[in-house]
Amino acid sequence: TTTLLESDFYRFQEGLTDQERESLGRLRAYLESEVRPIADEYWARAEFPMQVVEPLSELGMYGPGIPLVRHFENSAVYRGWAALELGRVDAGVATFIGVQSGLAMNSIAVAGSEAQQQEWLPRMASGELVGAFGLTEPLSGSDSARGLRTTARREGDEWVLDGEKRWIGNATFADVVVIWAKDIADGQVKGFLVTTDTPGFTATKIEDKIALRSVQNADIVMTGVRVPEQRRLQRAESFRTTAEVLRLTRTEVAWQAIGIAIGAYEAALDYARNRIQFGKPIAAHQLVQDRLVQSLGNITASIALCTQASAMQDASTGGDEHSAMAKAFATAKMRETVAWCREVQGGNGIVLDKGVARFFADAEAIYSYEGTREVNTLIVGRAITGQAAFV
């Protein structure tokens, strides 16, 4: 189980501990035997394979970086590789974990009180409870730092939430959604743990997506939703808290994007070795080799950048701009790579069963979520020029 990934051309995985490599080997074996065979089918039906929820918990995928629930001492670099291994097989399952573990559990770990962490995190780590993260709204995407319209109004020991959210992953079957809303008294963004059975709360699946079809994204409507004060994330002070969560998750999304590029690259390489044109495998034609080598170059450069971004996270020296650069760079390179890999497969490249098409389509969603390339570019731009150019 300790074999290194072949597409890790510069053998970066050698920098992991034995335990980290073994854990990745177990994850890879599970994904190859249980997830790869069903991924296209669930994607085509736009359904989420619920049978993965429990095994992925046993593999330690929910909250691996959170001391209260983690299976063993590990690094952000290891967690990046886990996101890569997931993306390499199924970006839908990778996104489910990105929401459950990265966004929902990290929100509670970063902004919840000790008691809130004890109450929610172990049950989410075991997969008993599924979480979601509600920031984006129909009228507020990139500008959610300033543009949130969902309101929170305090009434005695309760809060009353009103508003709408859009794109919220896992929300059709989640037990709890972290809702970010503006307190009408002080104008600050606060976080609330809203259970999905609360009166006034509805989540409706967004249909007909052309990317990440197995992920269940929802439009949420909240009308007079009452939440007790003890379900307000006690340490969430302002939008700064949300940004802190996103700083952690954006680097992991970057790793996930590398996994998607690798998934497409491996399918293209396999196809190129077997497809005969002009009397020889297309892998023997110079221009096809160029596409494959450039793809591997993109993958390798992204691994190098993300390894350092995660190492800085481990050392607490990484800023918002470092995860923003990782996300913008790795997703841009992913998008270029999946298109080349699709091209290598010719016409067959648009059919799911040849192994590239799903990655090609899913890449579009990953390119835009957790901050578009433009927004992440502006975060880096602000850091290097001292000028905020968002507005």
- Using CB under 6 A, list all residues that contact ligand FAD: 99, 133-136, 141-142, 167-169, 212, 215, 217, 365, 368-372, 374-375, 390
Judged by beta carbon, residue 136 or residue 295, the one nearer ligand FAD is: 136
For Cα atoms 343, 338, 12, give the angle at the middle one, nearest 5 degrees. 130
Please identify which residue in the block is written with the tokens 């730092």. Answer: 145
Name the 3-class secondary structure at 33.
helix
Dist. CA 223–CA 216, nearest whole Å: 22
Name the 3-class secondary structure at 168.
strand
Residues with Cβ within 8 Å of 386's Cβ and at least 6 positions away in sequence, in order, are none
Judged by beta carbon, residue 250 or residue 291, the one nearer ligand FAD is: 250
Q: How far is the CB of 214 from ligand FAD (least distance, A)?
A: 11
Judged by beta carbon, residue 5 or residue 366, the one nearer ligand FAD is: 366
- The candidate with the shortest Cα–Cα distance to 329, out of 262, 376, 363, is 376
Name the 3-class secondary structure at 350.
helix
Q: How far is the CB of 65 from ligand FAD (least distance, A)?
A: 19
Residues with Cβ within 8 Å of 297's Cβ and at least 6 positions away in sequence, in order, are none
Q: Measured at CB, which residue is nearest to ligand FAD?
A: 141
Q: How far is the CB of 251 from ligand FAD (least distance, A)?
A: 16
Q: How far is the CB of 288 from ligand FAD (least distance, A)?
A: 32
Phi then psi for 155, rounded to 5 degrees? -135, 95
Judged by beta carbon, residue 133 or residue 201, the one nearer ligand FAD is: 133
Judged by beta carbon, residue 303 or residue 375, the one nearer ligand FAD is: 375
Q: How far is the CB of 365 from ligand FAD (least distance, A)?
A: 4
Q: How far is the CB of 185 from ligand FAD (least distance, A)?
A: 23
DSSP state of 31: I
Judged by beta carbon, residue 125 or residue 215, the one nearer ligand FAD is: 215
Please identify which residue in the block is written with the tokens 């952000």. Answer: 76
